[in-house]
Structure 1
């Protein structure tokens, strides 16, 4: 077993819990230590983010395999045991969801029938966002802009271009070293849900590819550079804590924006890392999700831009997540990318079509890099400070997007990104911004409502009926179970339907999913 295989074998049985506490936990108080000693053998606790003494991460090994209902139940149960100690003001399991439907092979199929008419031409997606016109306004094509990219890492793909990558400040958050090289594990032998080796390369090629039109991929902002941050091994966030630390690394090393082409149920530590980046004057955006319809985290967070996927002629991609949390859409259905095809267990560098909101957010990130380069990132930060993201959002959803005929703004945002319109627009005054749709209040019901595309009032009414609670008691219960609620809303369709119906009778009828903690199950049975 080589080092990479050994590390994988360890991670598939690693359990992680995030804590928020104002008291130092490097030496845990007795009650917390007793819980961990009894439930999580070989545990250790560390700070989650640099220069932050209130967010902590507990890790330990369990017999259950990551991604199974039994693993989720173990994690959710431990969270409730920790909360009973009173040591932490918040605790949440850091675990993946697997209910993303179709296999990744369907997203990157070479079968032309998988893709819409009009996607045969390699440059169709750039044309759809008026990229050439944007380059006329910004002839450096994003020079000097660095894009932090939490994903599967980088490869030196001949159709991407070595100069598209910043390998001086890259980081591997999985192996904890300074080389974010993607090991390109054979997907047929991966232990992870929805593995997509080379995914970081495919998405980077859309942002900053330096190939040619005939042989390779030309990115939206080929003058910019992508900072690879290896934080995942599939298209779902296996451990949001790794993505959180990747976002924090992008902030601490001076990246101008962060593009996240993965998603999951979310984690408050990731939300905190994104907020620190936004407060530092960075732009942060994420893919809305695929195949589950609801908008996954972190795209669903109010402090993160959410991007849905479209195809040629502006038609929405049928498998794209959608909802009121979406800010804008961009090409993601049948996009040409630089990546890898597997033959007899061996990766072969190639160019092929692929689909996913991963590529939609990559197009918006490329357009954002052009916008930052055009106005100057330092000048923009001086003008807007922590409000830069809201200022960008205002330009993006007004002059920076075009609206096709019959557009569904309630599900797919303001329109399809228009890079040329974005760059030509007059900058708004610092006081003239558009807060994120779905509200800016940092409250559990706000975040959950954005995820499931319900109004906060309707969701609160449904939760009140489902829990049989109201007022402060309801809000404290939702806060206590927010992480587990988010997990079930994504992972358990029957339970999601029950929750949104507000019917306790229906909840009792479906029974207790194997992923539920006993404490959560007791609230509705």
Structure 2
């Protein structure tokens, strides 16, 4: 199905649309058309006549993006589908955009994909917020300095007030953000509500509704206070007498859409704003780039936050026309989460910056706190820009810029860089230094050192530097069609950066689970820049390599020594080892104890055929010897320490491969029940071996478009029913017309479930036909919420592509899991992680997972058996367990290890071998009678 046919099929499900065209989650495209000699209304009418033939009558809304026509005949329009949420994956949206571009003969067509890019870290964000998986590392620990104006002092603002007491008076700062809410810190600020705009809901009221469930409610209030709050409160903005115009164009800064932000920038220009501050970020957008360029042409200073917790500079800061502001801290060093690179112009305080803090209606109205993020660096810089314009008189600044054949933007950029304070040992990639408002105001306009003629914006729009940041240096292909593929390339780069991708040559790949559209994959394959093919033609995930820093943490080593006592001491258990004296645990690592640890690995070596495993085992033996001899004083490399942590974490919790073997009954799926890694589970597994083989046969790997998505297993008394997670379903199908309680689901690509151990047997591969049931609430891009049912029921073909019958259904236990210590096992298809934790320096932490492959022969994407126990019941329909699982285990069977081996749970989430969560199936069926009826 082509992208256009797919869109037409979606449109047939649409109802009457009564939402604003820029409503969050609405399915929307930005069309860039060359229509010389036509005003926007004429061009709109012409497009409106062409579109129905492609996607049907009365299925869309169309309007010009910008208020004023472009002088060069290029015009931007927004096409929004009626009654349809944005539920398609990005690669499908880009495929539809490519078809629209071709059919309508457009310069470009870009979807609003809701890119998950920009997050301001907050201490209140709980573990399990998907966007925070790689963001937690960038949250600085500690408390904000007691001086609530320390950031202003550090940036030279307080001294600048002495130079010019006007403090920004007469300057208008426009703020595209979430809007503002009632807060005392903004009560006395100069707010211009008559020129405000609410792009999302319509009208002029830019009040932030502080809607629950968004990542950053109150964000605009916080950043607005840093830029322009009055001095009468407990804090003060950098330009307390400037006028602030709030523009509500985003629901939260985490989800970025280009078109409403571009419209906000255009509105700011049309109302005569002098400074635009953007504490938000996302992917490359031609419409946003044009809006910013237009602002610069109209003598507006455009400030943008560089980005947080992702490494590369995000857009719009990455555009040449924007001023990109990185983050510093109270010690004049880089704030640990700041993006960095050649695009950064300078830094401003971004760590524990005092700001207005109101995230919900229940919060105290007057709360202030120390926030973190380049959002605050950008907002403070916008205030400094207002001080500069007020001090030198904006008309005079414009005259000076004209005299130099440059723009006000470039004059300010040059002046700010020239006057910036460069601390000792300033880190590369953070620009000229920390902005210094006092030195900036003391620098006469005539002495500002500009580059000369008017600044020329590169066609690459920041993609060249982003490619280098994520994929390493290379020869950029300037001839590549960026108008067609720039937005998608940026989306893939951001996804890789968030997943922890290191530049080529420094580590093996750690790929994001994000696919390229067919059009980009085809174009990238012939590009002169091989990095584009490397980005678009992805072949799957692999674990990264290790760093080798010295590890001398005694507490860490003590935990390892005690943990190793489980497998080196006869009769020891994890509980008894925890209570063991450290000296006794250390002595247990004598020659005999080390042999007990190494023996299972040697047996694996005999059958694994892995060339590097012998050296790994030898290194482990040496590390064990050093722990026995030196205890916590041992100086081990980080690589050696993590290898030992892997041993501790996987003692009695192995992941054993399921293999097809010949038996008297024919071919069966089984594990090696003699594997020493089973530890205390060995005898129990041996007793139930025959029944286990039946369970193995009914668990399969779910693929979409040939890519591993998750796991699932056969259930129910009717033929052809497979259960998996809703978040697995969201990766292979799209809910229509809404993400909440959808009417139906449409498969994005052909999907299958394969029950063979390696998911490579056509005889055991069954086509997914339809979705029968799914939890009503969306899971992807959301906080892990136990109240949401992460379950989906699929109907699959009753016979495989070669005519083989579906495996038997797994019986579901009638009684719910009630407490801890119940033996269980998980069967599924682990995949490498798509988001990697970081250490306090922002480097990827090569955790236990990264050594599974070397130590335990874990080939990703194939079937594994993992024993464990129930740890606790954590919710009315959720229990935690400690079996070894990874990302691809989503949708795995969780069954009792004993009795009838009935299914007790559906695995849906895990946290690095430490906290795994499964839905308690008996409780789910009791709460969902519709699902129970389908399985009856």
Shorter-chain-normalised TM-score: which range? 0.7 to 0.9
Larger RCO of the pair (alpha carbons < 8 Å, separation 6+)? 1
CA deviation string 1:34-90 (max 9, x = no partner): 33439xx82222111111251111111575645xxx432231111111222251012
What is the CA-CA distance between 1:33 and the residue it aligns to? 4.1
Q: How does 1:130-141 map to 2 (within 5 A)?
A: 130-141=156-167
Q: How does 1:61-460 map to 2 (within 5 A)?
A: 61=82, 65=86, 70-85=88-103, 87-100=105-118, 104-106=122-124, 114-116=140-142, 119-186=145-212, 189-190=213-214, 195-212=215-232, 216-236=234-254, 238-342=256-360, 346-349=362-365, 350-385=367-402, 387-399=407-419, 401-408=420-427, 410-428=428-446, 432-434=449-451, 440-444=456-460, 446-454=461-469, 458-460=473-475
Q: Describe the shift of the 1:225–1:380 C-alpha distance in structure 2 as closer, same or farther (beyond 3 A).
A: same
The corresponding residue for 1:520 is 520
Using the size of structure 2 for normalisation, the TM-score is: 0.48
* 1:184 and 1:347 in contact (8 A); partners too: no
The corresponding residue for 2:77 is 56
CA deviation string 1:362-398 (max 9, x = no partner): 1111111110000111221233246111111111001
Q: Describe the shift of the 1:157–1:108 C-alpha distance in structure 2 as closer, same or farther (beyond 3 A).
A: farther
* 1:393 and 1:434 in contact (8 A); partners too: no
Size of the aligned set, in residue pairs, is 480
Using the size of structure 1 for normalisation, the TM-score is: 0.83
Runs (4+) of structure 1 exceeding 6 A deviation are: none
* 2:353 and 2:370 in contact (8 A); partners too: yes
Q: Describe the shift of the 1:447–1:269 C-alpha distance in structure 2 as closer, same or farther (beyond 3 A).
A: same
* 1:173 and 1:246 in contact (8 A); partners too: yes
More helix by share: 1
Q: Describe the shift of the 1:429–1:79 C-alpha distance in structure 2 as closer, same or farther (beyond 3 A).
A: farther
What is the CA-CA distance between 1:16 and the residue it aligns to? 1.8
CA deviation string 1:319-342 (max 9, x = no partner): 111111000100010111112155
Q: Distance in 1 between matches of 2:119 and 2:68?
A: 39
Q: Distance in 1 between matches of 2:120 and 2:175?
A: 24
* 2:320 and 2:462 in contact (8 A); partners too: yes
| 2:489 aligns with one of 482, 485, 488 | 485
Q: Distance in 2 between matches of 1:28 and 1:9?
A: 17
- Provide the secondary structure at the position in 2 that maps to 1:16: strand
The root-mean-square deviation of aligned C-alpha atoms, in Å, is 3.3
- Provide the secondary structure at the position in 2 that maps to 1:291: coil
Gaps of 5+ in 1: 1-5, 465-473
What is the CA-CA distance between 1:434 and the residue it aligns to? 3.6
What is the CA-CA distance between 1:497 and the residue it aligns to? 5.1
* 1:16 and 1:94 in contact (8 A); partners too: yes
Q: Distance in 1 between matches of 2:483 and 2:251?
A: 30
Q: Describe the shift of the 1:100–1:286 C-alpha distance in structure 2 as closer, same or farther (beyond 3 A).
A: closer
What is the CA-CA distance between 1:270 and the residue it aligns to? 0.8
Q: How does 1:466-481 map to 2 (within 5 A)?
A: 475-481=479-485
- Provide the secondary structure at the position in 2 that maps to 1:229: strand
Q: Distance in 2 between matches of 1:7 and 1:33?
A: 20
* 2:348 and 2:381 in contact (8 A); partners too: yes
- Provide the secondary structure at the position in 2 that maps to 1:460: coil
- Provide the secondary structure at the position in 1 that maps to 2:185: coil
Q: Distance in 1 between matches of 2:237 and 2:273?
A: 18
Greater C-alpha radius of gyration: 2
